[in-house]
Amino acid sequence: MEQLKQAIMEKGVISGVDVLKVDSFLNHQIDPQLMNEIGLAFAERFADCGVTKVMTIETSGIAPAIFTGLHLGVPLLFAKKTKSITLDRRTYETKVLSFTKRKEYRIVVEQAYLTEADTVLLIDDFLAEGQALRGLIEIIEQAGATLCGAGIVIEKGFQHGGDRLREKGYRIESLAIIESMANHRIVFRD
Amino acid sequence: MEQLKQAIMEKGVISGVDVLKVDSFLNHQIDPQLMNEIGLAFAERFADCGVTKVMTIETSGIAPAIFTGLHLGVPLLFAKKTKSITLDRRTYETKVLSFTKRKEYRIVVEQAYLTEADTVLLIDDFLAEGQALRGLIEIIEQAGATLCGAGIVIEKGFQHGGDRLREKGYRIESLAIIESMANHRIVFRD
């Protein structure tokens, strides 16, 4: 998606060797017009699989995911982050290891909002090692719901989480895949 | 806003004496069409004050706020919750006492995204005692930005946080004000 790649080139800030900060349009300040275009792009790419629900994890996935839900005409369900085991039989939950924060957290979804009748499209802002996606897939499996695939705004291809999930047969579509950030220069995968 | 009041009546669940759960369309599962209408309603109500930035606090404020930003044609900036003092000179921060969770947290905004040139419209999902709004107002004051007002999806009028802010001269516009939830019956303020 050209508009997104342009925003990354113009506004993205590389921190350390593998962190890309896009706080000016995606993770702190958010560009609503760009999110609308992103939602439309995901809705078009996944128009074929009968999505009944879009799912993401709070916080930064919500903006692209809500526009995807709008254009597909289905609700958005976001998994909530929590520190403790809820021990609530009415929730699905699993553990996720955060790449940027290097700590483990739990995600929780109320069972009332996800059933085996659902076909789910996952949306997230970043895909690095794929831990968050794996957590969401685990929740979908607990619910017995059908997974359509995952739409990712920015995939860090050099961390290979997306490639490993594709090898397992999951449909992962990323609007921008960064192949390399070596020497503070962003190179996209074709 | 009739569509919102109808959703509250049909899908809201009263918990205890003063908690209204709207997890099926606003706080866990989110209805994108309704959020779009809510964003449009806020954009129309605050069309007169030259808004340059919409602001909210993560997480549940993001959905209504992003559509408000879309319809006003301005970015959304969300304050991040954090447990610790960041001691970062490049951020504004303040403390907020959570009504539902009865604990204190800090909110942080990067200075780069809020300056005295900004005119800010605050958007939030709930207004109860007004602590979150007061925190956001404090951040705006730290930045020297201009406050246009606050758009609230659901105000719990019987907790009077909104009334106290209005008495101080702030412009608070709520799309649904709940006057009473006594006997598990929701009564809206006219």
The string of pLDDT tens digits covering residues B73-86 is 999 999 999 877 76
Q: Which residue numbers in chain A have pLDDT < 70?
A: 86-88, 99-100
* Residues β-bridged to residue B154: B126, B176
Kindly state the tokens that stand for B140. 């705006």
Contact B86, B118 (CB under 8 A): no
Nearest CA distance, A136 vs chain B (angstrom): 15
Contact B85, B91 (CB under 8 A): no
Nearest CA distance, B76 vs chain A (angstrom): 5
The string of pLDDT tens digits covering residues B141-173 is 999 999 999 999 999 999 999 999 999 999 999
pTM above threshold 0.95:
yes
Fold classification of A2-78+112-188 is Rossmann fold (3.40.50)
Cβ neighbours of A178 (radius 10 Å): 23
pLDDT for position A145 = 98
pLDDT over 70 percentage in chain B: 96
Burial class (CB in 10 A: 0-12, 13-18, 19+), A129: middle
Rg, chain A, Cα only:
16
Return d(Cα B61, Cα B56) in angstroms, integer. 6
Return d(Cα A19, Cα A159) in angstroms, integer. 11
Return d(Cα B30, Cα A57) in angstroms, integer. 13
Interface A:B, Cβ pairs < 8 A: 92
Residue of A nearest to B75 (CA): A31
Is B76–A30 a contact, with Cβ atoms under 8 angstroms apart? yes
Query: Which of B29, B32, B78 is the closest to A113 by Cβ?
Result: B29
Return d(Cα B179, Cα B190) in angstroms, integer. 9
Is A30–B80 a contact, with Cβ atoms under 8 angstroms apart? no
Question: What per-residue string of b and e applies to B162-183 under the rule 16 or more CB within 10 Å gives b?
Answer: beebeeeebbbbbbbbbeebee
Nearest CA distance, A46 vs chain B (angstrom): 17
Q: Assess A77–B contact: CB distance below 8 Å, yes or no.
A: yes
Q: Which residue numbers in chain B have pLDDT < 50?
A: none
Return d(Cα A172, Cα A166) in angstroms, integer. 6
Return d(Cα B172, Cα B190) in angstroms, integer. 15
Is A113–B28 a contact, with Cβ atoms under 8 angstroms apart? yes
CATH entry 3.40.50.2020 includes domain B2-79+115-188 = yes
Residues 6+ apart with CB under 8 A from B118: B52, B53, B143, B145, B146
3-state secondary structure at position A189: coil
Return d(Cα B59, Cα B27) in angstroms, integer. 8
pLDDT for position A89 = 74
Is B66–A69 a contact, with Cβ atoms under 8 angstroms apart? no
